[in-house]
Amino acid sequence: MFKKLFGSLTGDNKTENQNHEAQTSNDNFKNDYENEDQEVEYDPETLHGTHYSVEDFDNEVAERAEAWIADERASGENLEDKDIQNIYFNYRRAVYTEWNNCDSDQMIRFEHANSLKYSGIQTSGFVKVEDNNPFLEPVHGVDLRTYTAMCLKISAGIDYLEVCKAMGFEPVIWEELNTIWPQRMGEDTSFTVTTLFGQYYAENVTVPQLENLKAEISEEGAANLEKIRTDRYFYEELAGARQAAYEYGIDGAQWILDNFGINIADFQSVAMQWMTEQNQNWNSENIMEFSNYQQEKQKEYAAKFAAEQGGNIADDVNF
């Protein structure tokens, strides 16, 4: 069934595609806007084209999807919920691409911006917080932003007792916070708590009570930290080095701290920063370039660690 659907959407199955087009009611609308010379303007929040309404878009997707579903059921297909979701997903992509005359990168940016609405899952960089979300209710008066700020300080090497003292509560409160908030992350199927935590982490948030608690960092470490925040290639190099270190039994986070002066909290904050920016400005060519660069650096550092440890085990084996 889905091979047929994919063929219809891509035009590979000419007969199916022609039959489907006859069922859609908005062909004229589509043709009005499929002009390669026309530059499409997008709503900054939804990333829908401004030349149509969201309601019209959703109605068109539903009409096409339901027509296909009706045909499948008429032919004896037993569709499960996941099948129906996939049908809507594919038609949503088809309609968006047609109506905006866009490439796949723009389509993916649109999916990220609307992930909560259409899939029920949040995406970093596009977090939408609903009022009265029970998973975001403060715990002992501590909201998620404050909890994240505490985690950042502790991950940076500041003793949790100092953090608790600065916050004005007993260590047992921290233990409960550090149990309940992660528990909520696991229970929240929309990933709102997890994604928002990551966003706060990327922002390196703090609160007034903790501003005077500073993790020690050398002048070189501060310079390297600023560099990985602004130089994506340098970040990818260190990410590759850290992974290679772990593969050779070395604590990668400690290795980064020892050699570049960057603690794990700051490194993870920058990692979230780059991931958020990547989601917001999705560019598949750039993503592939950075991924390849990190893999190259990982191989280079792996060779370095292997040499320091006397070579790979396989080097001593004769085949």
Q: Assess contact for 107 and 97: CB atoms under 8 A.
A: yes
pLDDT, tens digit, 9 for 90 and up, residues 48-87? 999 999 999 999 999 999 999 999 999 999 999 999 999 9
Work out the burial of residue 308: count CB atoms within 10 Å of its CB; fewer than 13 is exposed, 13-18 middle, 19 or more buried.
Answer: exposed
Letter string b/e over residues 270-284, b meaning 16 or more CB atoms within 10 A of that residue's CB: bbbbbebebbeebee
pLDDT, tens digit, 9 for 90 and up, residues 157-177? 899 999 999 999 999 999 999
Q: What's the Cα-to-Cα distance from 121 to each of 77, 114, 151, 190, rounded to whole Å?
A: 28, 9, 24, 4
| pLDDT at residue 129, as a whole number | 87
Q: What is the pTM of this model?
A: 0.75
Query: Which phi and psi (to 5°) does residue 49 adopt?
Result: -65, 145
Average pLDDT over residues 13-39: 46
Average pLDDT over residues 250-272: 95
Q: Which two tokens stand for residue 231?
A: 């130089």
- In the block, tokens 């993790």 appear at 215
Domain ranges of the chain: 2-102, 136-210, 219-310
| pLDDT at residue 38, as a whole number | 66
Average pLDDT over residues 193-210: 92
Average pLDDT over residues 196-212: 92
- H-type alpha helices, 141-283: 144-155, 160-167, 171-187, 192-203, 219-230, 232-247, 252-260, 264-280
